[in-house]
Structure 1
Amino acid sequence: MYGLKIYAAHLRNATGKNNSAAEVQTVAEHLQNVSAIMGKNAEGMGVAALARLIGILHDLGKISEAFQRYIRHNFDHPDKKWPRGTVIHSTAGGAFLMERYGDLDELGVLETIQLAGLVIFSHHSPTGLLDFLSPEGKNLYQKRLESENSPKIDEVYFFHQVISPTDLDSLFHSAVKEVCSLAETIASCSKDVLETEAFYFGMTEKILYSLLIDADWLDSAAFSQGKNFAAMEQHWDTDAVWHNFSQKLENKIAGFQNRYPSNPITRARTKVSDEALGAASRPTGIYRLSAPTGSGKTYASMRFALHHALQKHKKHIFVILPYTSIIEQNARDIRNVLQAGEEILEYHSDMMVEDGEEVSEEEKNRTKLMAERWDVPIVFTTQVQFFNTLFAGCASAARRLWSLCDSVIILDEAQTIPVKCTYLFNQAMNYLADLQNDTIVLCTATQPSLGALRYPLNFAEHAEMLQDLSQAFTAFQRTKIEAELPLGGMHIDELAAEIVHETEREGNLLLICNLTKEARDLYDAARSIADEEGLQLEIDHLSTKLCPAHRRKILDRIKKYLGQKKPLLLISTQLIEAGVDISFASVYRVLAGCSSIAQAAGRCNRHGERQYGKVKIVSLENENLSYLPDIANGAQVTRDLLSTGTEADMLLQPEIIQKYFEAFYGRYTEAQKEYSLKSGITLLDLLACNDHGVQAFWEQGGEEETLPCFTQSFQKAGREFFVIDRNTVGILVPYEQGESYITFFDSEIPPWKTGELYKKMRQAQAYTINVFSWELNKLEENGAIWKTQAGIFALKEEYYDENIGIHFDIQKNDFCFI
């Protein structure tokens, strides 16, 4: 009887039996499971049938004698495995679709085949979605479609055990209807802008790929652990979560108001928070919370998000922040207020699943899976992780993408979005709002003018949550800003003397620099002046050349001194500008963009300790910002505003901030805002029309009937995308516990201690500093570093300074990158 035929999708050692025995997950079981998971997760996206179709066909190539020989051989001979790729099974499903339905002369048929086909072709690619068309004009979709390496499929098994021909045909035609409806929706939302239409289809393809990766990996993991896939998923009652958390936050806010009812700052924060709450009933869309520093944006934005999520039945709340340090602080504050447990996830490089004596292996696996899938109600993550989920060529990052749908996304400090990512960000947020029912909030004191660009961010009709911005900013004005920008700038020694004497008068002062070298030189000069004059003055330095554990210790000491009102001068790079709840009587800021000046002002008189604090903008001679174009352009626009009549104390007013950003973005070409590559191609084009690739296709004699309906170059874009410079290397430094980690990594580590090795690597991040290639070369030239047996660079003790961090003897390069 045919039903006795078994095709294995996965094998595992049978429980309680010898190693030669195998338990089988059949291809039928796996395809049906993945199809069901994808269909369930795609509900509300408008592509549920298309998702189920992809799931039911993705591993069709495993229904072949060739693949069965491969999987059985590798199970029976674990020490002599055939290499991955010996049997290419990932092309069969896409090819089958074209063979069965390609000749149908109906609207949407080819589009459906190709959208599903490329996802299936790509599902074993470690670099994410593959290309329809390469930038060089190669028709890679057609190449895979016509691959001669595809194994021969047992269609009898497929139609008897997996899905009947009638059901498959019905599913396919439902998918075609979805694609046609999708095309109409996209055309309407994109206002017939061809590039936007193509980008929206590309984003849909990315989400379909995300759905497949997640469902495939989930079901495979469930089988390997002897579970049903449904038992692996979290089943949150999100409406109950939103209701519970919103009530707890309301109680906390009421407590603030009752404790300090007459405090003007408390009243102003209450007004901001109440207006954010009032906006929660607005429709899904893209909004702005333009609130001054110190106005309680963290609680106000979360208040909006919880109530909006409850009213609109959203699945998740995402809080996107630029720096890890801000995540740690904000997530801790929100977790404490909401009394939350695993409903809140911090997802960044320093918060990975840790081994713990009290945690079972099953619990660790469950927690790890929640993090990998973003399968929790509230996620705090970094801009880097958020952008990687959207654009990076990495299957594990792409897996999370579908979780963004039908959610609230708060982008805190939105002005920090890299200029090169501007149009990618705008188009992606528009897509999520238009097609995936997302509500997006740009939360910052200095709103970038993203709605006035060639590819604008499409804000909601009543986008601003606060009713009177001028009144809000006036209520939180706790500083007076002045500027001293002499021709040529100030000498280091001149500025050092000024800040030392200003600290004497005011009691404490913060100076923020653009470059680490500036900060170090000013630190040395200030200490020399204080020593020469016999001043009892604590002088500290902060930069990214101090390891995180060291920085935290210095910050704790600074907060203690400020509380004790001891004389204190802190000289820092811009890492102090966001996410640090600290207040100085005076703040000096080396000339930068208005958004940086606003962040600096947020560290001055933060809690209204006096009527007004002093913020002074200064410039330094011979400052070279050529390697920091965003800072250089921002500084120039600020200088231009000041030189054309804008008073320094008006720089942070909303109308001036708007002028600032309009001028700031105007200093960049359109290509630069599209993420331009050295070749002249832009990532925006690769993810939309791929004009360069299409032109090359025609020039190479490509035939019109073979040109795919979609021409995106996903793989090329994914390989080229990065948020921050990738040319950095981590160096473990001998600061406090760092010494013991260096000793561990430089010893012989047996194979059975691999788990401990990875645990130590995660823990050692607090004692690790990322350096750029020129810095690494300098340290190597000086014999300052060596590579441990574990392959990790370590710094010699004499090259780490207690005050300034990594010490470079003679710096050949005056540039610093923050």
Structure 2
Amino acid sequence: MDHIAHIKNTGGLDNESVTEETVSEHCKKTALLARSYSAPFNMESTVFVSALLHDMGKLNNDFDGYIKQENGIKRGEIDHSYAGAKFLLELVSNDDDKYKKEVARLIARIIISHHGLNDWYTRNNDDYFDYRCSKNERYDEIKSNISELISDSKLDELLNKAADEYRRIFEKMKEICCAKDRKQYFTTLAFYHGLLERLTESCLIDADRTATAEFMEGIEITEPSEDEIRRNWLDMKQRLDNKLSKFSGSDSLISKLRMNISDRCCAFAKNDVGIVQLIVPTGGGKTLSALRFAIEYAVEHKKERIFYISPFMSILEQNGDVIREIAGDDNYLEHHSDMYSKIIDNKHKSKEEVNDELEDYELRCRHWDKQVICTTMVQFFDTLFSSRTEALRRMHRFTDSVIIIDEVQSIPIRCVYLFNLAMNFLSEFMGCTIVLCSATQPTFEQCKYPIMLDKDSSMTGDYTKDFEDFKRTEVVSLLNNQGNTYEEAAVICMDKYRENGNLLFVVNTKTAAAEIFRNVTQLNDEEEIKAKVVHLSTNMCPAHRRKAIDDIRRMLDNNERVICITTQLIEAGVDISFKCVIRSSAGLDNIAQAAGRCNRNGEDDRRNVYIIKLKDEYIEKLGKLKEAQRQCGLIVRKYGCEQLLSVDIMKRYFRDYYEDCACDSNGDMLEYQIRNSNYSLLDLLSCNIIFSNDKGNWKSRQAFKTAGDNFRMIDNNTIDIIVPYNEEASRIIEALNGETTISQALELQRKAQQYIVNVYDYTFKKLAENDALNEIKVRRDEKMYIYALKKEFYNNATGLSTEGKPQEAMFV
């Protein structure tokens, strides 16, 4: 008798005609897919065995009765994930080959976790792996049916091959461990071992879900051939060359300098590259240069994919269309939340066409199977560290790819060690080529857990002259011991504006932006020739911010007078150029990024960037910004401002900043300390000495679920509020307030993404106290709510306000 894994109705509403898929059919299909996913990192037998045995627990009559709805057993009542693991451990229990035993344990963990990651040791020091492998439910019956999947001799042959695969990769892990002491050595080794488990798990989860979808939904996922991949790379190379040829003939000095950098990046693709830096001054055209390298490298070294990773939506929005144009629609995926509203809001397509596009988009986001993928740093980090299986299943797609990480200095301080070690793993074990892009390169290679840069780590060689050639600003310190009030800062702002004709003022907090905007607006009203004063902050919804930035660009292009007061959201990636910039004191990298918005295209010989200290700006809740601000002040006092933005000074800043953060009174901040606990994510994902007192089992103690549940690349303990920015936003709020089906509510929420403001708990409470919110129950049968802001609490200039004021004209 062949046991059943899945059943689908093929006879319409009467349910009389069904198609069955046996456990053997499903497991063998999954195993073939998983093996193909793992081929680039040479773990085929390991992953094949895990996939072949992952549903071994379904080889029993009770599961047949459940799947046929004949015995009253409910979903989740049969544990089908333990049996394959238990069987493997029994099989190798008397084997003398230690690597065979270890790879069997690895495969067993993969099998147990194929529906979700686990903590192998819990907070109570309980051995969860031992608990799962000690179960006996229906085990004798299941074990007696193993021949449906594989013979004993074939399984032993595969395990021997798996042991060789594991031995090779583990020996390499030991070789590349950079450690100053025993604790650091084992932490690094265990962390790499944990990433290996995640990687192999990714292959199984993706293969299992893909095989199931193929059977249940008739979805067929095909992978392009090597010839197709190569043809696509060559087509992209031709399109990029055509685009660059338009710049190469320009007489503009800036264009010539950018082409020189681009040519050096192209030439660098001849090398074998692991992890390198692309250090390009702001305005130096690093995105196209990095993309040119990536395509050239993919052609030269037969890579499968290119990933472009951006920390900010503003950068993705700016660069996404350019990259899509070069990649071609059929080879390109842009994965971020705003894409849903872009698809839904397409007025040129019918509802059926939009639904088809949305369905295809969601499928591609699950698989990441396009050749060029642009996504956010959040998606990138979630794939590596989150506990969500929908993120984890994509991890194997990084294999054999070129990964461009833009504005790498934006990686939060608490994620530095995790990032460094993960990049080492991607490069050494997954065949990835990683390009770290920034004008302000952090000193990751000097950390306690360092990133392993190539010996020839600069793609452009000696970049000193690039920074001299692109120097378009002078930094001037207005720092004093007392600092300036918001009123005094507004006066300084107006003085510098009168001298220059337009001005950008960047601050650290939304409160500071709103206060200075208010004061500058009042002073501007007294001017004979008034400027247009524009506010930017995350109190404005994305649609509002985009319109404001577009308006600023238009005014600057028309040489109109404009003052922009903004938080740092404008600093990286926004291609905009002011004649003067004032920056509230922050990290040196923040100063450099703000300077990149001044005289960006070399309109003048040199323009000034001023640093100011705001007395009333409260930054204690902004992570380590206060420490970054302190380090920047020390650098200014020690070296002055003349070479403040040079590469050497920037390296000194990051080195000192990281050293101070590593010696914080609350622990090493670069380890990702978990709030209200005595442990870090680095510990949970390596030796896990907090949860486990088993000193001999250091390779498999990781608390993947607890670590993944706690991981946030950025703090997002916020509440989404839909704001009535314009008529469309108001219509969405009105529709959500009415009677909707689940699918209609989901579509409306996707449309609302561009009209959402995220607020922290204290702001939410204040809004609630002021009766500023409408509570919308999305599903009538459950306690699921979303919140909409009342009209009088959204200001056309500054966005969300906790103090409501009547508006004569709410929509702009």
Give the TM bin, normalised by the shorter chain: over 0.9
Q: How does 1:18-57 map to 2 (within 5 A)?
A: 18-57=14-53
> Which of residues 158, 172, 189 is equivalent to 2:146?
158
Aligned counterpart, 1:352? 340
Sequence identity of aligned pairs in percent? Answer: 34
Equivalent residue, structure 2, for 1:682: 680
1:112 maps to 103
Q: TM-score, normalised by structure 1?
A: 0.92
Residue 598 (structure 1) aligned with residue 588 (structure 2): no
Which residue pairs with 1:726 in the alignment? 716
AA at the equivalent of 2:198: K
Aligned equivalent of 1:218:
210
Q: Distance in 1 between matches of 2:635 and 2:427?
A: 35
Q: Would you say 1:665 and 2:658 are equivalent positions?
A: yes
What is the CA–CA distance in structure 2 between the aligned matches of 1:416 and 1:438, rounded to whole Å?
21
Could you tell me which residue of structure 1 aligns to residue 330 of structure 2? 342
Counterpart contact for 1:485–1:619, Cα < 8 Å = yes
Decide whether the 8 Å contact of 2:794 with 2:804 is kept in 1: no
2:782 is matched with: none
Residue 785 in structure 1 maps to residue 779 in structure 2 = no
Matches within 5 A, 1:16-415: 18-73=14-69, 82-125=73-116, 129-149=117-137, 151-155=139-143, 157-159=145-147, 161-190=148-177, 193-226=185-218, 229=220, 231-233=221-223, 237-258=228-249, 260=250, 262-336=251-325, 338=326, 340-352=328-340, 354=343, 357=351, 359=353, 364-415=358-409
Distance 1:647 1:396 in 2: 50
The question of whether the paired residues in 1 share the 8 Å contact of 2:517 and 2:565 is answered with: yes
The verdict on how the C-alpha distance between 1:133 and 1:98 changes in structure 2, with shifts beyond 3 A counting, is same
Q: 1:107 to 1:363 in 2, by over 3 A?
A: same
Find the residue that maps to 1:212 and give its secondary structure.
helix
What's the CA shift for 1:55? 0.5
Give the deviation of 1:234 after TM superposition: 5.3
Tell me how far apart the structure 1 counterparts of residues 609 and 334 of structure 2 sit (CA, whole Å).
Answer: 34
Q: Which is worse superposed, 531-540 or 303-312?
A: 531-540
Q: How big is the shift at 1:158?
A: 3.1
- What is the CA–CA distance in structure 2 between the aligned matches of 1:358 and 1:727, rounded to whole Å? 36
Report the AA paired with residue 91 of structure 1.
Y
Q: In structure 2, what is the equivalent of residue 619 of structure 1?
A: 613
- Alpha-carbon deviation of 1:622? 3.0
Moved more, 31-40 or 149-158: 149-158
Matches within 5 A, 1:491-502: 491-502=485-496
Distance 1:44 1:781 in 2: 57
* Alpha-carbon distance in 2 for matches of 1:87, 1:523: 61
Helix, strand or coil for the counterpart of 2:14?
coil
> Take 1:219 and 1:153, find their aligned partners in 2: how far apart are those partners?
26
Q: CA deviation at 1:679?
A: 2.1
> Aligned letter for 1:174?
K
After the TM superposition, which of the residue ranges 26-35 and 488-497 deviates more from structure 2? 488-497
- CA shift, 1:16, in A, is 5.2
Question: Kindly tell me: are residues 709 and 298 of structure 1, through their superposed partners in 2, closer, same or farther at Cα, counting changes over 3 Å?
Answer: closer
Cα deviation 1:690-710 (Å, max 9, x = unaligned): 122333x47xxxxx7xx5752
Give the secondary structure class of the aligned counterpart of 1:792: strand
User: Which stretch has the larger CA shift, 295-304 or 277-286?
Assistant: 277-286
Partner of 1:691: 689
Instruction: Return the alpha-carbon distance in structure 1 between the equivalents of residues 225 and 216 of structure 2.
Output: 21
Q: Does 1:511 pair with 2:505?
A: yes
Query: Alpha-carbon deviation of 1:168?
Result: 1.4
SS in 2 for 1:694: coil
CA distance in 2, matches of 1:308, 1:70: 52
Q: Deviations over 1:374-411 (max 9, x none)?
A: 11111111111111000011100001101011111111
Cross-structure match for 1:814? none
2 CA distance for matches of 1:426 and 1:154? 44
Q: For 1:312 and 1:647, how far apart are their aligned partners in 2?
A: 46
Partner amino acid for 1:586? C
SS in 2 for 1:137: coil
Farther off after superposition, 18-27 or 351-360? 351-360
Q: CA deviation at 1:663?
A: 1.0
CA distances 1:304-353 after superposition (whole Å, capped 9, x unpaired) = 111111111111111111111211211112222x1610311111121239
Q: 1:550 maps to which residue? A: 544
Counterparts of 2:526 and 2:237, CA distance in 1: 57
State how far apart, in whole Å, the 1-side matches of 2:748 and 2:95 are.
Answer: 58
TM-score (normalised: structure 2): 0.93
The C-alpha deviation readout for 1:108-159, integer Å capped at 9, x for no partner, is 122111101111111122xxx2122234421111010002345544445431
Q: Is the 8 A contact 1:34 1:55 kept in 2?
A: yes
Q: Matched residues in 2 for 1:151 and 1:347: separation?
A: 43
Shift of 1:498: 2.1
**Matching residue within 512, 516, 524 for 1:522:** 516
Corresponding residue of 2:416: 422
Q: Which runs of 5+ in 1 are unaligned?
A: 699-703, 812-818
The 8 Å contact of residues 187 and 197 in structure 1, kept in 2 or not, is answered as yes
- Cα contact 2:340–2:358 (8 A) shared by 1: no
- In 2 relative to 1, CA 612–777 (structure 1 residues): closer, same or farther, beyond 3 Å? same
C-alpha distance in 1 between matches for 2:537 and 2:141: 60
Shift of 1:805: 0.5
Paired residue for 1:569, among 563, 575, 586?
Answer: 563
Matched, 1:13 2:9: yes
Note the alpha carbon deviations across 1:569-598, whole angstroms, 9 max, x for none: 110111111121111111111111111111
Deviation at 1:361, TM superposition (A): 6.3
Partner amino acid, structure 1, of 2:5: A
User: Structure 2 matches for 1:420-459, cutoff 5 A?
Assistant: 420-459=414-453
C-alpha spacing 1:542/1:82, structure 2 compared with 1 (3 Å): farther
How far apart, in 2, do the equivalents of 1:241 and 1:803 lie? 46
**What is the deviation of 1:244?**
1.2
User: In structure 2, the residue corresponding to 1:693 is in which secondary structure?
Assistant: coil
8 Å CA contact 1:591, 1:619 repeated in 2: yes
Contact 2:261/2:460, CA 8 A, preserved across alignment: yes
| Whole-angstrom distance in 2 between the partners of 1:493 and 1:135 | 52
- Counterparts in 2 of 1:38 and 1:590: CA distance versus 1, 3 Å: same
What residue number does 2:642 align with? Answer: 649
**Mapped partners of 2:735, 2:74: distance in 1:** 34
Residue 701 of structure 1: aligned partner: none
RMSD between aligned residues: 2.0
How many pairs were matched up?
Answer: 781
1:717 corresponds to 2:707: yes
